[in-house]
Chains A and B, each alone.
Chain A
Amino acid sequence: MSKTDKTLLWMVLGLLGMALFLGLGAVWLNIERMDLAYDLRKMEQSLGRKEDLAAKLTVERNNLVSPYRLKKLAGRLGLEVAAPGQIRRIASQ
């Protein structure tokens, strides 16, 4: 086998090896992509659930600090709206 033929053979083998490597790489990437897609979907759903919960908690918070409830709680603690003459403004030194 001449030197040129040997070089050609190595090149062909190299190309075949590269094709095999790239093919395996493509399969691996595809599997990774699918895994990522599943994870992303799960995270999207989790985010959606958390956003939904946050919205419900915000409503609950607003419900808890609504003036009607605050007034009731304040009444229970003996607090009421300041009457004229009961407010003192203290000047900062």
Chain B
Amino acid sequence: MAKDNTRRTDHSGIKIGFVMALFSIALGALWFRTGWVQLHEGDALAEQASRQSLAAEYEYGERGRILDRNGEMLATSVEAQSVFARPHKIENLDVACDVLSRDLKLSRRDVYRKLKSRKKFVWIKRQITDREAAALTRADLKGVRLTTEHSRIYPNGHLAGQLLGFTDIDGRGREGVEHLFDKLLSPSKAEFVVQRDATGRRLYLDAHGREINVNGKDVRLTIDTHIQHAAEQALANSIAKYDARAGIVLVVDVASGDILAMASEPFFNPNTVRSSDPAQRRLRPLTDIYEPGSTMKPLLFAAAIQEGLISPDTLIDCENGRWRVANKVIRDTHPARWLPAHKVLRYSSNIGTAKIGMELGSGVYYDYLTKLGFGEKTDLGMPGEAVGILRSPGSWTSVDLAAISFGQSIGVTAVQLAKGFLCLANQGATKDLNLILVPEHMRRNASIQVFSPETAATVLKMMEEVVQEDGTGRSARIEGITMAGKTGTAQKASKKGGYGDQYLSSFVALVPAEEPELLVITMIDEPQKSPYGSMVAAPVCREVTVRTLAYHGQLSETLHADATVSAPASALSGASLEKAVPMPVAPSVKDRVPNMQGLPVRRALETLAGMGIVPVLKGQGMTVTRQEPPAGQPWPGNRTKEGTEDVFVLWLS
């Protein structure tokens, strides 16, 4: 047995060696492969892997907002979903057509045509509502997907629509402020890398690329939405009442030159651009040229006074309302013979004004008009602004000079007229109009002293007579406050040549008359029921002014302008009183009505206000002469009915 055992060859060593060799080769091959993959193919494979696990993502910002002077939003962007399809991935065409046409309210034929297209990508509908997007998400159609875009919204509808302009479906500004500040408002794009898992879900990798603000910048206008609304409403009422074609209202803050309202009818709602026509989209105060008529007269008077040709009392022969210049006859609506210059303006005599203009001469008047900014853009920066029509004085005939003197044969825009009157209100020095608060506009800001402050004050005094006395503008009068104004009823040029039977009614108001704070210009184009500025345009100016003053809390407490005028303290300090007057003391509030006779109206009002009563004031004056209920009576029971006849009445004198 032992022999047999020794005879048998022991192969175990070879076997072990063989297995070891095999393992070594396998391990070596693995090591070699690892080395090959790591060292030779490493970079390429790492790139492939990152391509699978990392993805580039873009973030699009939203377009900047447009705000009014108080920060109220006039235009903003909100996220909206848009629907697109990849036609080759659609599984059931009929179902997809039915769902899309039903949920998106589209014609089935259009949807079918789009889904049958050979293109790889087709828009079905852009910027749909949230409800439509939710319905499509529920439907879960294969090959139909939603993507996020920003749509432009104007929360106030047609308020200042023409001024704001609008954007196209791709968010590019096409008109108005949207176009002017397109670059500033436009958002930018940020690109950053995100990690992707096996199912394609995206993960947050790091903040790289997210620190940039991709949103567009905001633009702030000088417009005040409440004043703009007041202007638009007054304009719309007047246009409806007089069946006019169009209209303009401009409200300017004199101290800053800021345009507080720029209304233009017919209105334009930028939310519904497609249903509008170009005539609605026009910003008429800048683009439309009108012959302003008599509203230009105060500027001629200012030039004539500045040149020393006239004073308010200079007598002018108004030819009893009919005067021939060359082969043309000029007529007045208020015929008179001799009128002092201030009455020429008060009654708006064309003949008297033409005579002053002819005395002044074309060259001199042209110089004044160019200095005031007529014949050139107002530098507001808005697109489409017209320069007006102001021919060189060499081409003016005597008829032209006469006509230009009373505002015919000259074409101006409403903003040019506003700039001219802003000069008068600003003590004779020109001032730029502003429409944009932020970003600050670099202006030439070259103020020219066109008229002396005395001349400007004299003309304003004459314009005050137009409203406060028996002038043409008395329908614009506001109780308790002085207004300087001027009406205009200009004949419009006919398409057939010469002047037709259509008119432009206009009115310029400056409030208060001394050192004006507010400038309001109204123009009503082709009113059909009455052409007169005094009837059509002046009441619009009045309403806008009242609402603006009420909004600013500046309306007078009393109905008399004189009562609100207070003398400066310095003027009173040196004056001695003729008789010692006991200081009026407001009676203390008890359970009975106190005696208020002899009290200044202000103190009486303060006492009553303390009891929650707003009395009815009767008569005119500043002192209480009688009261109802009389002193000693119990306080009236129902104090909440403000202004009713039987609560509390004070008679003034």
Contacts and interface: CB of A to CB of B under 8 A. Distances in A.
A85 B205 contact: no
B153 A59 contact: yes
Contacts, number: 99
Nearest to B225: A67
Contacts of A76: none
Contact of A67 (B79, B159, B202, B556): B159
B229 interface: yes
B632 interface: no
Contact of A84 (B153, B201, B546): B546
A1 interface: no
Given A34-B203, A56-B78, A62 B156 contact: yes
A90 interface: yes
Contact of B478 (A40, A56, A84, A90): A84
Contacts of B155: 59, 62-63, 66
Contacts of B205: 37
Interface in B68-112: 72-73, 76-79
Q: Is the interface of A mostly helix, strand, loop or mixed?
A: helix
A81 B552 CA distance: 12
A55 B555 contact: no
B233 A59 contact: no
A84 B559 contact: yes
Interface string B213-225: 0000000000001
Interface string B180-211: 00000000000000010100011111000000
Interface residues of A, number: 29
A78 to B, nearest CB: 11
Contacts of B481: 84
A38 B203 contact: yes
B609 interface: yes
A85 B479 CA distance: 8
A61 to B, nearest CB: 8
Contacts of B297: none
B398 interface: no
B76 A55 contact: yes
Interface string A33-49: 01011101100100000
B609 A88 contact: yes
Interface string B473-488: 0000011110000000
B553 interface: yes
B237 to A, nearest CB: 12
A87 B550 contact: yes
Contacts of A67: 156, 159, 225-226, 228-230
B128 interface: no
B243 interface: no
Contact of B229 (A40, A62, A68, A82): A68
B614 interface: yes
Most central of B62, B73, B204, B550 by chain A CB within 10 Å: B204
Contacts of B550: 81-82, 87
B480 A41 contact: no
Contact of A66 (B197, B225, B480): B225
A70 to B, nearest CB: 9
A66 B553 contact: no
B361 interface: no
A41 B559 CA distance: 66
B614 A88 contact: yes
Contacts of B307: none
A43 B142 CA distance: 28
B47 interface: no
A62 B66 CA distance: 13
A67 B555 CA distance: 20
Interface in B116-171: 153, 155-157, 159
A32 interface: no
Given A40-B204, A84-B556, A85-B556, A55 B78 contact: yes
Interface in A72-93: 81-91
A38 B605 CA distance: 68
A66 B159 contact: yes
B524 to A, nearest CB: 21
Contacts of A38: 201, 203
A55 to B, nearest CB: 5
A58 B74 CA distance: 12
Contacts of A41: 201-204
A88 B605 contact: yes
A90 B153 CA distance: 41
Contact of B203 (A37, A55, A58, A63): A37
Contacts of A85: 479-480, 555-559, 617
B648 to A, nearest CB: 13
B284 interface: no
B343 interface: no
B342 interface: no
A87 B195 contact: no
Interface string B598-610: 0000100110010
Given A59-B73, A59-B78, A91-B606, 18 more contacts: A37-B195, A38-B201, A38-B203, A52-B78, A55-B79, A56-B78, A62-B73, A66-B156, A67-B159, A67-B228, A68-B156, A83-B546, A85-B480, A86-B643, A87-B556, A88-B605, A89-B557, A91-B602
9 contacts: A41-B202, A55-B79, A58-B73, A68-B159, A81-B546, A81-B551, A82-B550, A85-B557, A91-B602
Interface of B: 62, 72-73, 76-79, 153, 155-157, 159, 195, 197, 201-205, 225-226, 228-230, 233, 478-481, 546-547, 550-551, 553, 555-559, 602, 605-606, 609, 614, 617, 643
A-B pairs, 10 with minimum CB distance: A67-B229, A37-B203, A62-B155, A40-B204, A84-B479, A52-B79, A85-B559, A82-B550, A62-B73, A66-B156
